[in-house]
Chain A
């Protein structure tokens, strides 16, 4: 069966339910395809062939015994910053190159409980710091649509693996756009849930008040399915919400008739790619044609989102990454003489440039004499950004905007200019600062053949509305049949 790998997650589950394909067959198909395509694409850091085969066999046995579970036998990939018991978790960093977690993160545990099979761990920017997947210790990931381009970041490995059909679906994490931006650049669906919707237990911390785990999938239904599975309260994460988990699947096909959709002026700016703007505008017209009420809105503090983020995220990171000291786990420079030299040389050799840059920035912003001017000021700006959204959601159900101001850029194009790289996330960062959910869905292609995505933002815990609007667009635009154009369609 040649097209196992091209199926969406829910199609594959249906095929398994009908007995048309086994988990063992699906896992072999994916492993074979990974072996052919991934040496060049580099979307996986670790492929767990043995573990996946064992889990698939187990799943097939359970299925034969009449057991039912929503993901029974589904081959999935996990961004390499979620702890997987017995399977190394590197966070894209040399400092965790050999770290093997003795436990599963909450999201992974939920997937396993639902019957999923873990194919492996996907590549990512080091400590999720990057927008191009070029800061990984394990080398850059390429974009399956164009191998000279970046896949986006930081969940670039998950996005590329889903787009290239190297897994049925994947998990990513989003601190400033790290699910939505690569989803957009790779032509897949990616949802960042409300802050606190999914437990962060076992997620390597970058910026704890912003980090959120979410699904990266081939279509909207898969994203809805996975969101329902990985969400829920977890006593192991004190910031995890107690809000009951919504039903994301049953209303998915309801359409957008009568739904008020806000279009923010501040997300259509000078300098953005004209093809991106025209495709996003065309998608908004589709929503209107399908009965949505389009309203022009303003989110006046949008331009302060990136500067606010680049105080708060590095500040939290500098504190979170203090734990990598070469003592308890991770890399240690064994040649250093004395404790302090061991700390500094371990960290200097263990971290890459971008991580060091952000630790420096955060340490500076929190240091004596600068705390009020930078950190406190940014926390106040964050409040203003949140208020913009709260006001907007008094009048609209969802907000539609481009995910990224431009399609995928070239490998190496922005690596020497951190500020330029930071501006790649100009449209995604606000949702993290406010803590609201957002889903990126493909809305077309450039003339050069690169995917364009738009994001649908919702109010707190309104994942269902964002998914419903995304599904309405998906049906009309019909992008799910499009596949990467790198000569890998078959097998």
Chain B
């Protein structure tokens, strides 16, 4: 399994990462090597084996969609990189 530079760039875009050329080259090689290692899983016969996404048998837990007042918005906004008028500020989203 050899990842091409184009594939590395595509995955980086999906992951919202902007890699330098150097990183692209290093990661391409390293990821290919790791994927080769992972391909050992293909030796396993997994016919009729149920996929396991959790260690315990758990089901969804629900609660009422009600305010509990434990976490006032101010306390969260204190960590925002940029804010104004009680809102988070982000760069312009719509061009024009």
Contact = CB atoms under 8 A, between A and B. Distances in A.
Interface of A: 98-100, 102-103, 194-196, 209, 235, 238-239, 241, 301, 303-304, 306-308, 310-311, 318, 322, 325-332, 334, 336-339, 341-345, 347-348, 351, 353, 356-357, 359-361, 363-364, 367, 374, 376-384, 386, 418-419, 422, 433-436, 460
Contacts of A98: 79
24 contacts: A102-B76, A103-B70, A194-B55, A235-B63, A238-B60, A239-B56, A304-B44, A328-B76, A328-B79, A328-B88, A329-B80, A332-B82, A337-B91, A339-B91, A344-B16, A348-B18, A357-B30, A360-B12, A361-B34, A364-B11, A383-B51, A418-B30, A436-B55, A460-B56
Contacts of A422: 34
B54 interface: yes
B61 interface: yes
Contacts of B15: 318, 347, 359-360, 363
A374 B38 contact: yes
B66 interface: no
Contact of B49 (A351, A353, A380, A460): A380
Given A383-B51, A383-B52, A99 B79 contact: yes
B53 to A, nearest CB: 6
A382 B52 contact: yes
B6 interface: no
B17 A348 contact: yes
B11 A344 contact: no
A246 to B, nearest CB: 16
A322 B75 contact: no
Nearest to A418: B30
B50 A330 contact: no
A209 B55 contact: yes
B31 interface: yes
A154 B12 CA distance: 25
Contacts of B3: 364
A304 B40 contact: yes
Contact of B11 (A310, A326, A332, A363): A363
A238 B55 contact: no
Which of B8, B19, B56, B93 counts the most chain A CB atoms within 10 A? Answer: B56
Contact of A196 (B33, B34, B56, B88): B56
Interface residues of B, number: 52
Nearest to A363: B15
Given A100-B78, A304-B44, A359 B17 contact: yes
Given A209-B54, A360-B31, A100 B41 contact: no
Contact of A241 (B44, B52, B56): B56
- Say whether chain A's binding surface is mostly helix, strand, loop, or mixed: helix
Interface of B: 3, 7-8, 11-12, 14-19, 23, 27, 30-31, 33-35, 37-42, 44, 46, 49-56, 58, 60-61, 63, 70-71, 75-76, 78-82, 88, 90-93
The 7 closest A-B pairs by CB, nearest first: A435-B55, A379-B51, A102-B75, A332-B81, A329-B79, A380-B46, A344-B18
B1 to A, nearest CB: 10
A381 B44 contact: yes
Contact of A339 (B49, B51, B93): B93
Nearest to B89: A327
A343 B11 CA distance: 15
Nearest to A382: B52
B80 A328 contact: yes
A363 B14 contact: yes
B75 to A, nearest CB: 4
Contact of B37 (A103, A310, A329): A310
B92 to A, nearest CB: 7
Contacts of A332: 81-82
A40 to B, nearest CB: 31
Given A339-B93, A348-B17, A379 B34 contact: no
Which of A239, A303, A364, A382 counts the most chain B CB atoms within 10 A? Answer: A364
Given A209-B54, A239-B56, A338-B91, 13 more contacts: A100-B79, A196-B55, A235-B61, A235-B63, A311-B41, A327-B90, A329-B79, A357-B30, A360-B31, A379-B51, A379-B52, A381-B46, A435-B56
A307 B41 contact: yes
B79 A356 contact: no
Contacts of B63: 235
Given A238-B60, A326-B81, A367-B11, A342 B46 contact: no
B43 to A, nearest CB: 8
B18 A434 contact: no
B38 A310 contact: yes
Contacts of A436: 55
Contacts of B70: 103
A356 B51 contact: no
